[in-house]
Amino acid sequence: MNRIDRIRRITNDSRRNNETILGCCFDVDELGSGFLKKVYKNALIVVLKRLQVKEEAPFDIYFREQKIGQYVVDLLVEDQVLSN
């Protein structure tokens, strides 16, 4: 597989994941309003069960090739999409 084919595959996978995540967010909307953030996050984890989800995922932040800190996101989905 050449470089362009790999980029197309990654782009298609990302697009598919994004569509799935967005659909799951609409599913969570069934809960209605008024709950704390944690309730919606837990519901999203339930409906995202077919994707790889990491909760409270830390990752390093770099600036000009130097580590300047660490950031923790609420959800990291398929190592590509962040939710906070």
**What digits encode the pLDDT tens for the residues 19-62?**
888 899 999 999 999 999 999 999 999 999 888 999 999 989 99
Number of domains in the chain: 1
If we measure between CA atoms, which residue out of 34, 18, 28 comes closest to residue 77? 18
> Which residue range(s) make up the domain with 24?
3-83
Average pLDDT over residues 63-75: 93
Q: What is the mean pLDDT of the chain?
A: 87
Does pLDDT of 3 surpass 70? no
Cα 6 to its chain centre, rounded Å, is 21
